């Protein structure tokens, strides 16, 4: 399947900095690239390099109405978004989003033709307790309950161990391979067309470790944080996803 490299800018950017960043991006043959940007910059990103898809970092579970500060999937679709991140660990930890909310957000995204990038992952304590797949299985089960088996095959799953996000510490290739294989097995066990689901790795993916991570079976791309803010680094990662082309 075509690998996906999605940049998560988080709460970073400015009109000038964004322009400079975009000037340094270009499509990589055989790789799908995307940038998930703060809402105010969606309009600016209407003009972006060919071959780079647009995404958002969150979406409301609600269709419309009296939900001050929320942004609906329909609004994102109007701006040409293809992807939207749901359930990022920062949303879960800092803003209290539980598994059921993440499932409803994924459902809202799909209803408007957006592809939800569903983030899952364990804390260091949960890993040390041997509960990695218990946690990830619970997170995925809520999305499956909201979507159903057929629609679940349309999502992208991003494995982001919480202990490796923004810490500079990446999971080892052995750890990544083990979890990605377990996620695909879990999906297949629920009757989902698991081979069709792209599994991304996130969690301090950088220019110097991307090639090794992409060499791991079942790694179908990356969800890139800090390195997506540096055009040269994002391009190195994207080229690594394409086998170095």
Residue that the structure tokens 């088996």 belong to: 149
pLDDT in 10s for each residue of the chain, 245 residues: 999 999 999 999 999 999 999 999 999 999 999 999 999 999 999 999 999 999 999 999 999 999 999 999 999 999 999 999 999 999 999 999 999 999 999 999 999 999 999 999 999 899 999 999 999 999 999 999 999 999 999 999 999 999 887 777 778 999 999 999 999 999 999 999 999 999 999 988 999 999 999 999 999 999 999 999 999 999 999 999 998 64
Tell me what pLDDT residue 168 has: 74
Write the secondary structure of 124-174 as one string of H (helix), E (strand) and C (coil). Answer: HHHHHCCCHHHHHHHHHHHHHHHHCHHHHCCCEEEECCHHHCCCCCCCCHH
Identify the pLDDT of residue 188.
98
3-class SS of residue 199: strand
Q: What is the pLDDT of residue 167?
A: 75
Active-site option among 32, 61, 160, 180: 160
Output the pLDDT for position 164: 84
Strands 221-224 and 83-86: unpaired
Measured distance CA(205)–CA(94) in Å, rounded: 22
In this prediction, residue 114 carries a pLDDT of 98
> What is the reported pLDDT for 219?
97
Radius of gyration of the chain from its Cα atoms, rounded to whole angstroms: 17
| Residue 112 known to be catalytic | no
| Residue 88: active-site member | yes
Question: What predicted TM-score, i.e. pTM, was given to this entire model?
Answer: 0.96
Of the residues 88, 90, 97, 122, which is catalytic?
Answer: 88
Element (H or E) spanning 101, and its range?
A: helix 99-111
pLDDT, residue 203, reads 86
């Amino acid at each position: 399947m075509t690998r996906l490299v999605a940049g998560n800018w988080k709460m970073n950017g400015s009109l000038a900095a964004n322009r400079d960043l975009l000037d340094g991006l270009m499509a990589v043959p055989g790789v799908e690239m995307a940038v998930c940007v703060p809402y105010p910059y969606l309009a600016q990103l209407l003009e972006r390099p060919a071959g780079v898809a647009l995404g958002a970092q969150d979406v409301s579970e609600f269709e419309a109405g009296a939900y001050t500060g929320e942004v609906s999937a329909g609004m994102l679709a109007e701006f040409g978004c293809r992807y939207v991140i749901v359930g990022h660990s920062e949303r879960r930890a800092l803003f209290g989003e539980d598994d059921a909310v993440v499932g409803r957000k994924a459902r809202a995204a799909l209803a408007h033709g957006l592809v939800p990038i569903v983030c899952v992952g364990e804390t260091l304590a949960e890993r040390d307790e041997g509960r990695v797949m218990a946690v990830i299985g619970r997170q995925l089960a809520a999305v499956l309950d909201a979507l159903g088996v057929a629609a679940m095959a349309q999502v992208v799953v991003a494995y982001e161990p919480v202990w490796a996000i923004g810490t500079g510490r990446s999971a080892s290739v052995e750890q990544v391979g083990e979890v990605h294989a377990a996620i695909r097995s879990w999906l297949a066990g629920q009757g989902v067309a698991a081979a069709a689901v792209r599994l991304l790795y996130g969690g301090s993916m950088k220019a110097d470790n991307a090639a090794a991570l992409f060499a791991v079976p079942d790694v179908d791309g990356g969800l890139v944080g800090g390195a997506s803010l540096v055009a040269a680094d994002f391009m190195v990662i994207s080229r690594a996803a394409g086998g170095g082309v």
